[in-house]
Amino acid sequence: MSGEVISWWMCLSAVAAFNIAAWFRSAAILRRNPARLSAEVLAASRLQLLLSAGYVFGCAFRSVLPVFDIPRIVLVDSGLSSVLVGRSVATVAELCFAGQWALVLRETAMATGARLASIASLALVPLIALAEVCSWSAVLTTSNLGHVAENSIWGLCAALVVCSVAVALPRWDETRRPLVVVWCAAGLAYVVFMFWVDVPMYWARWVADEASGRPYLGIAEGLVDVATRRVVSFSWEDWRTEVTWMSLYFSVGVWISISLIHAVGRVRVATGVRGSRSVAHRVNVRLPRADT
């Protein structure tokens, strides 16, 4: 039993507890000042809060019961640790996260008329749904080629979001521009990681599997396998390649999800006569700041 794996697992669990507390804090802030918000902003904020819950609690579940999907490696020998359960939770959580960004991009497009943001808001959830199909294909068949496609789609979607948000940066509320910059920086780092580390890693695994003549599973056979087979391991060598992405995914990713709750109503729209200097005003009443 590796002490490194146990320490990492304890850190993931502690971060999960912190994230849940942060989500409840955001819910309390929203509930405390409903009269200060327009009906439109309040409804959008509540939808963001609900979608964030799907991501926050889904990531917390996967932090406490981590799973290395294709080799079926787990830390807890329980039915809740099965790849079938873990992948199902991940699918719901990731679609919720995509939904959060789609809402932000939709508001950005409505406030600024940005065509890229409008296109991205409509395309994001279908693209992530396609990524989930690719992920399930990889998990069921044990072919890493599905993960190559999945993570390529995620990387492209992140690049699309960063470009859409960055173009509209001058139109954001001044108090939230630093947060938008953090989003863009984190998004760019994510894109680099995906195409520099993650996608090549899965490609190399697939190439190695092909070279060794590894037999893949059929869909029906894979369904039985993900539901029943679990390999309990506390070996650092087994978990080493998963530590970096899981640690970032279950921490930074969740913090971004929570921050999106407080982004509603923060984009401004320019009005005025064409050719003259535009006057900017806020679309909606400000949300209370997260640190109040």
Domain range summary for the chain, segments of one domain joined by +: 3-263
Contacting residues for 57 by C-beta, under 8 A, at least 6 apart: 20, 23, 93
Does the pLDDT at position 286 exceed 60? no
Confidence at 288, pLDDT banded by 50, 70, 90: very low
Residues β-bridged to residue 74: 67, 232
What is the phi/psi pair of residue 131, to 5°? -60, -35
List pLDDT tens digits, range 231-283. Answer: 999 999 999 999 999 999 999 999 999 999 987 766 654 433 333 333 333 43
Say which amino acid occupies 156: L
Confidence at 1, pLDDT banded by 50, 70, 90: low
pLDDT at site 272 = 35
List pLDDT tens digits, range 24-33. Answer: 999 998 887 6
Average pLDDT for the chain: 88
- Residue 57 near residue 199, CB atoms below 8 Å: no
Of all helices (H) and strands (E), which one includes residue 31?
helix 3-32
pLDDT at site 142 = 97
Percentage of the chain beyond pLDDT 70 is: 88
| Owner of token pair 């959580």 | 93
Query: Nearest-CA neighbor of 210 among 151, 142, 149, 152?
Result: 142
List pLDDT tens digits, range 153-166. Answer: 999 999 999 999 88
| Other beta carbons within 10 Å of 287 | 24
pLDDT at site 171 = 78
pTM score of the predicted model: 0.88
Structure token digits, residue 148: 């190559």
Averaged pLDDT for residues 127-135:
98
Task: Please state which of the ranges 2-16, 99-113, 204-218, 224-238 shows the lowest mean pLDDT.
Answer: 99-113
Q: Which fold has domain 3-263?
A: Rhopdopsin 7-helix transmembrane proteins (1.20.1070)
**Is 154 exposed, middle or buried, given 0-12, 13-18 or 19+ CB atoms closer than 10 A?**
buried
What is the phi/psi pair of residue 270, to 5°? -90, 135
Most confidently predicted of 29-38, 44-53, 149-158: 149-158
